Amino acid sequence: MPSWKKVITSGSSAELNSLKLSGAVNAGTDTDKFLVLDAAGNIDYRTGAEVLTDIGGQGAANIVTPVATFVDFKGIQEGYIPWGGVTDIQTNSNKTYGVWISPSNGYLEKIIISPENANGTTDSMNVTIDKNGTQISTAVTVTMAAAGTNKTFTFGSGWSFSAGDRLSVGLDKNTNTADLYAVQVVFRLEN
């Protein structure tokens, strides 16, 4: 049972300036314990998970890390995207050029691609993922649309990686004739 340093009776005008608890019990599986002051001036008990929700925080594997770039296919059909800047896409023989080293465990959530040229952009595009130099996915295919239209390739928690893994994203524009594409890769990383 908590013991109060100062006892306040109903109708008392005394103010409580300090509080001491003794015999506090662990909160079960969530052992973080917090006392918070609510809008009515009451002291409420909250678990760590509840406080995280209260402040709009995110738990493990929920840190969104987007990486955005522009790629220019010019005269080639497929290759690996760079992880920064505006540059020509690299051919399959240069796939190590397009490596991103993961800072922590996580997974690939989605890739958003928008053709930025007005010429033919209605055919499909394939996306593949390499981890440590080995392709880990079958191609995910999405039909493109008019220039400036975002198309999303969805992956999810099954597309996981560990800290230090080398990741590459391969694009194959199939029969699209657009050369310039805006690309955003969205990872979810652990804390």
Average pLDDT of the segment spanning 31-40: 75
What's the Cα-to-Cα distance from 182 to each of 54, 116, 139, 148, rounded to whole Å?
A: 36, 7, 19, 9
Q: Are 133 and 166 in contact (CB under 8 A)?
A: yes
Position 3 scores a pLDDT of 44
User: Taking the domains of the chain in order of start, what are their residue ranges?
Assistant: 1-57, 63-189
Place of tokens 């003794």: 22
Q: Name, of 93-97, 113-117, 164-168, the range with top average pLDDT.
A: 164-168
Residue 186: CB atoms within 10 Å: 17
CATH superfamily of 63-189: Galactose-binding domain-like (2.60.120.260)
Q: Is 23 left (phi over 0), alpha (psi -120 to 50) or beta?
A: left
Scanning the structure block, which residue is given the tokens 């194959």? 172
- CA distances 18 to 26, 45, 46, 53, 81, Å, are 22, 16, 19, 27, 59
34 pLDDT above the threshold of 90: no
When pLDDT is averaged across residues 80-85 and rounded to a whole number, the result is 72
Which pLDDT belongs to residue 58? Answer: 58
User: What's the CA gap between 39 and 17, in Å, rounded?
Assistant: 18
- Residue carrying structure tokens 């992956």: 155
Confidence of residue 163 (pLDDT cuts 50, 70, 90): very high
Q: Structure tokens of 138?
A: 């079958």
* Residue 155 CB coordination number (10 Å): 19
